[in-house]
A and B are shown apart, each in its own frame.
Chain A
């Protein structure tokens, strides 16, 4: 602890010595981390969307003939594992829903002499259990046909998976880029201070004493970048929520504060860890170049 002031002064000196490169490293790291934050934000929102859509996963079951007592069939379906809600949609309600969907074009329904819609069951299920649920429903007496919307659901799952993979790729790219930038900056700092490092070694200074200011530099540069990225992403998410919430209220966004807290925590802790790790990589060159 007695050297903390010295370490901070040394770190400041190392940063000032190569100020232009360090400023660009700081900005570059900040923007890279901002991109990471952006991808994580999209990932978070899309995951929320997928979860909600999966919760909303819905199939329709049609009767072979209008049952006298649909409650029996409804209860049979409700008892199937993977089904969490069943509701009866009468012919009139089915027509009314279609009118809502068609909007101004709903008058075409008037061309039919009588209501073309049949009553059906609207069944909400857990998506991961779709196959056994479908099989069970098809086996129920009184059910003629089941429409499963599987293609749409599979597409949503596919998009979610692609975003997840993209997220991992971006995390890997950001990590590698940040590590390379920081370790390169540290190596430059070591090169500029090589005489001082040699002298300290000859005086018996331990490597941790010599290396700590460099670790501090790496930490400060990337953590600074993390702060910059956090500030940018906070502004962006605040504006995005304000606009999306107004223009597209049907998009199920996750709670803003929770999303922001998660992203900022990730950016700050990730930047700190990457800074220290990058410095340690950079410092490994000290051992190769300055033995003695």
Chain B
């Protein structure tokens, strides 16, 4: 699913975001990427979705080498990824269900089916009653759940959630984690970054990827890494 060999990411200003990272993450796994703020978690997510590219080393996501010259193929690859962004990136002026459907409009999914998938996803995140509410009027936690619904509705092979609990309180943060964990199955890999390590105590992750100053060490949990 994800293969990294000696991957480093150095920004233009010389900041070393990731340093000699080696990973082998398998399909259907649940992985938490943990570490303090500024350790390189978001940089890893940016590499995995193709916003940034490795300065050195080789990175492959679902068989697609992540190279700058392959941006067209990477754009296609993103259709198999369900991203949950730290700042949600919902489209304002649209309802919750419109935002969820938006992630499927350009896929080969008939509109009736897309509506059904969107509705089911909103039910799954507990927001069916807000389906026709403008996202601008949702609370922070609700907006986060719409973002999750958008990511999962199209049944991606890989869910990438970057700090999905952001500023949520303890209970809501745990709920979001459990919700994201629930999407893990044989076909879907879930990767969640968080600096709130105290919230993932009871998680059933396959592994924790501990990021510290750009280096990643792997702490196995489920023995599948």
A203 touches B78 (CB 8 A): yes
Contact status A203-B103, CB under 8 Å: yes
Asked whether A71 is an interface residue with its Cβ less than 8 Å from the other chain, the reply is no
A204 and B105 contact, CB distance less than 8 A? no
Chain A residue at smallest Cβ distance from B109: A2
Q: How far is the CB of B51 from chain A (nearest CB, A)?
A: 5
Closest residue of B by beta carbon distance from A13: B93
Contact at B76–A204, with CB atoms within 8 Å?
yes
How would residues 62 to 76 of chain A score, 1 for a CB under 8 Å from any chain B CB and 0 otherwise?
Answer: 000000000000000
* Interface size range of chain B in the complex: 20 to 34
Choose among B49, B81, B106 the residue with the greatest number of A CB atoms under 10 Å from its CB: B106
- Interface residue B89 (Cβ < 8 Å from any Cβ of A): yes
User: Any chain B CB within 8 A of the CB of A246?
Assistant: no
B: residues with CB less than 8 A from A are 49, 51, 71, 75-81, 83, 85, 89-91, 93, 102-103, 105-106, 110-111, 150
Size category, A interface: 10 to 19
CB contacts (< 8 Å) of A199 on chain B: these are 89-91
Known: A2-B110, A2-B111, A195-B89. A204 touches B77 (CB 8 A): yes
Cα(A292)–Cα(B71), bound, Å: 8
Contacts of B111 in A (CB 8 A): 2
Which partner residue on chain B sits nearest A292 by CB separation? B51
Q: Can you offer 25 A-B residue contacts whose CB atoms are under 8 A?
A: A2-B110, A2-B111, A3-B105, A3-B106, A6-B105, A195-B89, A196-B91, A198-B89, A199-B90, A200-B102, A200-B106, A201-B78, A202-B85, A202-B89, A203-B79, A203-B83, A204-B78, A204-B79, A204-B80, A204-B106, A205-B105, A206-B75, A209-B105, A209-B106, A292-B51
- CB–CB A202/B83 < 8 A: yes
Q: A206 to B79, alpha carbons, bound, how many Å?
A: 10
A201 CA to B103 CA in the complex, in Å?
10
The reply to whether B106 and A202 contact each other, CB–CB distance below 8 Å, is no
Q: Which of A188-242 contact B (CB under 8 A)?
A: 195-196, 198-206, 209
Q: Number of residue pairs across A and B with beta carbons under 8 Å?
A: 46
Q: Which residue of A lies closest to B107 (CB)?
A: A204
**A205-B72 Cα distance, complex, nearest whole Å:** 11
Complex alpha-carbon distance, A252 and B91, angstroms: 61
Question: For chain A, what secondary structure do more than half of its interface residues adopt (helix, strand, loop), or is it mixed?
Answer: helix
Closest to A7 in B: B105
On whether A206 and B106 interact (CB within 8 A), knowing A195-B89, A201-B75, the answer reads yes
Alpha-carbon distance between A6 and B111 when the two chains are bound, in angstroms: 11
Q: Mark A2-35, 1 if CB is under 8 A from B, else 0.
A: 1100100000010000000000000000000000
Bound state CA distance, A289 and B80, in angstroms?
25
Extra contacts, 15 of them, besides A203-B103, A204-B78 (Cβ < 8 A), are: A3-B105, A6-B105, A13-B93, A195-B89, A196-B91, A199-B91, A201-B78, A204-B76, A204-B106, A206-B75, A206-B106, A209-B105, A209-B106, A291-B71, A292-B51
The chain A residue sitting closest to B78, CB to CB, is A204
Name A204's contact: one of B75, B90, B93, B150 (CB within 8 Å).
B75
Closest CB-CB distance, B202 to chain A, in whole Å?
31
Question: A240–B81 Cα gap in the complex (Å)?
Answer: 64
- Most chain B C-beta atoms within 10 Å of own C-beta, residue among A2, A196, A204: A204
Q: Which chain A residues lie closer than 8 Å to B49 at the CB level?
A: 202
Q: Taking the nearest CB of chain A, how far is it from the CB of B83, in angstroms?
A: 6
| Chain B residues with CB under 8 A of A3 | 105-106
Specify which chain B residues have a CB less than 8 angstroms from the CB of A202 in the assembled complex. 49, 51, 78, 83, 85, 89
A6–B115 Cα distance when bound, in Å, is 14
Distance, CA A204 to CA B76, complexed state (A): 6
Q: Which 3 A-B pairs have the closest CB atoms?
A: A204-B78, A204-B79, A209-B106
**Separation of A198 and B49 alpha carbons in the complex (Å):** 13
Residues of A within 8 A of B93 (CB): 13
Q: Shortest distance in angstroms between A278's beta carbon and chain B's nearest beta carbon?
A: 24
The answer to whether A203 and B102 touch across the interface, beta carbons within 8 angstroms, is: yes
Which residues of A have CB within 8 Å of B90? 199
Chain A residue at minimum C-beta to C-beta distance from B105: A3
Chain A residues near B150 (CB-CB < 8 A): 203
Which residues of chain B have C-beta atoms less than 8 A from A204's C-beta? Answer: 75-81, 106
A278 to B79, CA, bound (A): 30
A196: chain B residues at CB < 8 Å are: 91
How distant is A82 from chain B, measured CB to nearest CB, in Å? Answer: 63
